[in-house]
Amino acid sequence: MKKGSILYHEEFRFKNGEIGDKLLVLLNTPKLPSEPYLFCKVTSKQNGKSKIPGCHPSFSLFFIPGSEEFFNKDTWLQL
């Protein structure tokens, strides 16, 4: 796997205990076997999040408008 890879997790455990589907984006490419993989979660639920494209560091989010990149829907990377 290399950074930027998008993975589909069928049994992701959410904070509320529910289990469901979730996309994850790999943020790094480990160089050593002992280095960890760093992932961020992806959501398409706006819930008051900004729709200005790009990084929103105060909210730990990165917004990608739908159909502009890989994602069909408006998407927030949760950093």
**Span 50-62, pLDDT tens digits:** 999 999 999 999 9
Residue 13 covered by a domain: yes
Q: What total of structural domains would you count in the chain?
A: 1
* pLDDT reported for residue 49: 96
Q: Tokens for 4?
A: 């930027």
Domain span at 40: 6-78
Residue 48 covered by a domain: yes
* pLDDT reported for residue 67: 86
Q: Which residues of 44-71 are buried (b: 16+ CB within 10 A; e: fewer)?
A: eeeeeeeeeeeeeeeeebbbbeeeeeeb
Residue 67 covered by a domain: yes
The Cα 76–Cα 70 span in angstroms is 12
Weakly modelled stretches of the chain, pLDDT under 70 = none
Residue 1 covered by a domain: no
* pLDDT reported for residue 21: 93
* pLDDT reported for residue 18: 94
The Cα 35–Cα 13 span in angstroms is 24
How many residues are given for the chain? 79
